[in-house]
Structure 1
Amino acid sequence: MSGVGAWIRYGDPITEEQIRFAAEHYRAAILQPWELDAAAELKRQRPDMTVLCYKCFSSTRDYEPGPVYSSGVSYREAEAAGGQWFATRQDGSRIEWNGYRGHWQMNVWDSDYRARWVENVAGELAGSPFDGVMADNDVFDDYYGIRPPITAAESMADFRAALGTLVEAAGTALNSVGKILVPNIAESRREPGRWAAHAAYGGGFEEVWLGYGPENLFDPRTAEAQLPQADGPGLSILRVPTDGDDAHPNFTYGLAAFWIFGGGRGSYTATGHDDYSRTQHIAELDWPLGQPEGQPTAQGHVWSRAFSNGWAAVNFNQDGRRRRRVKVPAGLVDAAGQPAPQHLVLPPQRGVVYQRGQNH
Structure 2
Amino acid sequence: MTGVGAWIRYGEPLLPGQLEFAVEHYRAAILQPWETDAAAELKRRRPDMTVLCYKCLSSTRSYEPGPVYTSGVSFAEAESVDEGAWFARRLDGTRIEWERYPGHWQMRVWDPAYQRRWVENVVDDLRDSPFDGVMADNDVFDDYYGLDLPIDGATEMLNLRSALDDLVQAAGTALNGAGKLLVPNIAESRREPGRWQAHAAYGGGFEEVWLGYGAEQLFDPVTAEAQLPQATGPGLSILRVPTDGDDRHPNLTYGLSAFWIFGAGRGAYAATGHDDYSRTQHVPELDWQLGRPVTEPTGRNHAWWREFEDGFAAVNFNADGRRRRRVRVPAGLVDAAGVPAPSWVVLPPRRGILFRRAA
For this structure pair, what is the TM-score category when the shorter chain's length is used for normalisation? over 0.9
1: CA distance, partners of 2:149 / 2:274: 26
How many angstroms apart in 1 are the aligned matches of 2:123 and 2:159? 25
Tell me by how many angstroms 1:268 deviates.
Answer: 0.1
Q: 1:150 maps to what in 2?
A: 151
Match of 1:134 in 2: 135
1:73 aligned partner, one-letter code? V
3-state DSSP of counterpart to 2:297: strand
Moved over 2 A (4+): none
Q: Give the corresponding residue for 1:40.
A: 40
2:27 is aligned to 27
Quick one: which amino acid aligns to residue 218 of structure 1? Answer: F
SS at match of 1:292: coil
Q: 1:257 and 1:324 mapped to 2: Cα distance?
A: 15
Q: Tell me the residue number matched to 1:120.
A: 121
Structure 2 equivalent of residue 64 of structure 1: 64
- Once the two structures are TM-superposed, the CA of residue 16 in structure 1 deviates from its matched residue by 3.6
Residue matched to 1:287: 288
- Which deviates the most, 31-40 or 8-17? 8-17
Number of the residue aligned with 1:9: 9
Q: Distance in 2 between matches of 1:221 and 1:332?
A: 30
Once residues 81 and 94 of structure 1 are traced to their aligned partners in structure 2, the CA distance between those partners, rounded to angstroms, is 15
User: Match of 1:191?
Assistant: 192
Aligned counterpart, 2:263 = 262
Q: Aligned to 1:201, what secondary structure does the other structure show?
A: coil
> Is the counterpart of residue 161 in structure 1 residue 162 in structure 2?
yes
In the TM superposition, what is the alpha-carbon distance from 1:127 to its structure 2 partner? Answer: 1.2
For 1:55 and 1:353, how far apart are their aligned partners in 2?
34
Worse-matched range after superposition: 206-215 or 16-25: 16-25
**CA drift at 1:15:** 2.3
Residues 39-77 of structure 1: per-residue CA shift (max 9 Å, x gap): 011111111000000000000000000000000000000
In 1, Cα distance between equivalents of 2:331 and 2:310:
12
- Give 2:104's aligned residue: 103
Q: Which residue does the alignment assign to 1:80?
A: 80
Counterpart for residue 224 of structure 1: 225
The answer to whether the aligner puts 1:171 opposite 2:172 as a matched pair is yes
SS across alignment from 1:153: coil
CA distance in 1, matches of 2:279, 2:267: 21
Provide the residue aligned with 2:345 in structure 1. 344
Whichever residue aligns with residue 96 of structure 1, its letter is E
Cα distance in 1, alignment partners of residues 269 and 142 from structure 2: 24
| One-letter amino acid matched to 2:68 | V
Secondary structure, counterpart of 2:33 in structure 1: coil
1:251 and 1:280 map into 2 onto residues whose CA distance is 10
Separation of aligned partners in 1, 2:66 and 2:113: 22
SS for the counterpart of 1:295 is: coil
Residue 325 of structure 1: how far off its partner (Å) = 1.0
Deviations 1:247-272 (A, max 9, x none): 10000000000000001100000000
Measured in 1, the distance between the counterparts of 2:34 and 2:86 equals: 24
TM-score, length basis structure 2 = 0.99
Percent of residue pairs identical: 74
Between the two proteins, the alignment pairs up a number of residues equal to 358
- 1:207 maps to which residue? 208
Using the alignment, how far apart are the partners of 2:119 and 2:138 within structure 1?
15
Return 5+ residue gaps in structure 1 as ranges. Answer: none
Counterpart amino acid of residue 350 in structure 2: Q
Task: Output the amino acid matched with 1:231.
Answer: T
What is the alpha-carbon distance in structure 2 between the residues aligned to residue 12 and residue 226 of structure 1? 30
TM-score for the superposition, normalised by structure 1: 0.99
Q: In the alignment, residue 276 of structure 1 is paired with which amino acid? A: Y
Unpaired runs of 5+ in structure 2? none
Look up the SS of the partner of 2:102 in the other structure: coil
Alpha-carbon distance between aligned partners in 2 of 1:306 and 1:235, rounded to the nearest angstrom = 23
1:202-225 Cα distance to aligned partner (Å, 9 max, x none): 000000000000000000000000
1:91 alignment partner, SS class: coil
User: What is the SS of the residue equivalent to 1:293?
Assistant: coil
Task: Report the equivalent of 1:311.
Answer: 312
Distance 2:23 2:116 in 1: 35
